[in-house]
Structure 1
Amino acid sequence: MTHGWRDDDMTQESPKKADRTVVAPGYEPVAEAFFATIADGRASGASLAIWKDGLPVVQLAAGTADRPAGTAFALDTLIPIASVTKGLASLVIARLIERGDLPSYDTPVGEVWPQFAAYGKGDVSIGDLLAHRAGLSAPREALTEEVFLDSLATADVLAAQEPLWKAGASHQYHAFTHGALTSKLVSLAGSRSLGTVFAEEIAGPLGAEAWVGLPAEFDGRVAPLVADPRPAPASAPDEADPWPQRAMDLGAGIDVVGLVFSERGRRAELPGVNGIASAPAIAKIWSAAVTPTDGTRLISAETADALRAPRSIGRPQFAGPPPYQAWGAGVMIPSHWEWYLTEYSFGHDGANGQVSFADPHHKIGFAYLTNQIGDWERGQSVVAALSRVLG
């Protein structure tokens, strides 16, 4: 079967460009798995990038980026990456800890953020705060759109709040509040915002087209999201346990997803949910987290070990049906939800069907990004094919 991809020269002398199609010898089964994920290339599309040992071994795009405009999906198509952004924010925190701008993951948050100590939260460690253990997955006080779009203002509200459970005793995914907490930690390390640190210290040195807070000049390259073709599961509000619903609408009935992907939402820095990037950019960033990539290594092996060390595993505080995710200090780690490649893998998925991670054992950076909202099985099927190729 011909898909229009080619095997580019993969010698060390090859230019490490992020805008060229690549399928290195031996990776053809991965390419086939990728194309199989695009059921209808007329409505939506996807892109895949895999870097190994600091070089691209697979870079592919297929399908449609914008059906009304007739735009084909390309490697430089920009895609809203949803919670993949949490992994990028966690890399920012890891860099700041490594060089001493923030103290260790085991430091109580109250030591660097005194206001956070309200209602006994101060003893929660920085690592456990990042691992969704702080009891702040939803706001007790309804947030306005203006407060939500200001991550530091949201962080102030959360710092003053009584936790939803004993802080540190359990975990629950902080879908929209996680970004505010990481924003505050970065602000405590200096005068720059998280989006600025990310641009200057992670995306910039790698030439990676990824942003937390997208400049308006790039709006025209963002692929519109396509609705999930599956019927939405029926659910009823739980009056006895309202926190999962409040986590999603901020207690104010806000269409947070719509707000995040609006023009106002793209401009804001929401480090838990509103990153926008190309697949080669995300794969290259994860590659640089575990091996030198274009002369850049983002964090040391020791810091990567601390970042991915298990902190939250198993049944969450407000348990839905399994499988359950697992986290290190803000990054997802292998679990029944997502096995990735090896026990050493770490990264983050995104609600639109995105899968991204680093693997220090195989020196891999991986990103499968799509504009069709839906399941993660598409990206996971490509990971499975990669695992078989690597052996």
Structure 2
Amino acid sequence: MLDIADELHEWCLRGLPFAVATVTATGGSAPRQPGAALAVDSEGTAVGSVSGGCVEGAVYELCREALEAGPGAPPVLQRFGYSDEDAFAVGLTCGGDIDILVQRIDPGGQPEIAAALAAAVRGEAAAVARVVAGPPELLGLALLVGPRQAGAGWYEGSLGDPERDRAAAGEAAAMLAAGRTGTVVIGADGSRCGVPLTLLVESSVPPPRLLVFGAIDFAAALVRAGSFLGYRVTVCDARPVFATPRRFPDADEVVVDWPHRYLDAEARAGRLDGRTAVCVLTHDAKFDIPLLERALRLPVGYVGAMGSRRTHLDRLDRLRATGVSERELDRLRSPIGLDLGARTPEETALSIAAEIVALRHGATGVPLTGAHTPIHTAA
């Protein structure tokens, strides 16, 4: 649901009731992950997707039915799977299955959901935890959960029981800290939370960061690719004649500073995390070595460096001389990017971006044709 927060927040501001269908669970080769949503407002406008097209028509009708049922209509759970026995059956042609929660949202009726949408639009960290399996009277109830403070996340709303609320808020805060969306179960045997409940926790976190060091033409193409993928992109170079906003109009910021000094400052400010990608494109030792020495010791998700294989071997020797361990060197993606035969800046940017995506999702980067690995990895 938070993936279409811009539109839903606008509907909230306009006071429009709407129905939102959210993927709560998947099986097999389902095309969308939990949290993906399709919503329909009272005027019949639809936004989002739950299946990439396979069952959108049927889900649209379920949303319309929820709207026609009026305020207070109970949420509905619906499963869509694959069937080759009935030519007219609505199902997923990919062979997977999805569970979908269809819920009517009325202006002022679900403040926790409205607040989560507003936080997502502002780019703030927040999560919404909704009951998607359990007693019918609890289905659709939601908590708004914020980042951990002094070991626990703050929360608003209620699932009907204080113990249950605290357990749900704790699980949601942990998922928010990891930037994850998915389901958790609370109230298992021995718990004081009562009956078992399955919660869909949708996390809204600031966009991941892509730090591009080296204001060269290849950097301009990588900035465009990173922006397209939803990263907040920074270009940094110590040479003011090259590091200008005019040369990098798609960057969120252009910084003139020594790369290692800028990275140190961002690390001290706590603005780097496991989703951060660091791309070193300068292939100049006086910039690369102090920068990589620091980057390889930070808890960022990706560190890549441009250069030939000969440059790479020389770079490894220089980094070892500074005290970088073999385990730290194993994190370095160099030469940077996947083997696509890239030559142009745009092809090279695609190669680098593809490697970042593959590493982020723990994928192999090999062709899917003939492979026996899952097409969609777990979120």
TM bin (shorter chain): under 0.3
TM-score, normalised relative to structure 2: 0.20
Looking at secondary structure, tell me which structure has more strand per residue: 2
Which structure has the higher relative contact order (CA within 8 Å, separation 6+)? 1
Q: Higher Cα Rg: structure 1 or 2? A: 2
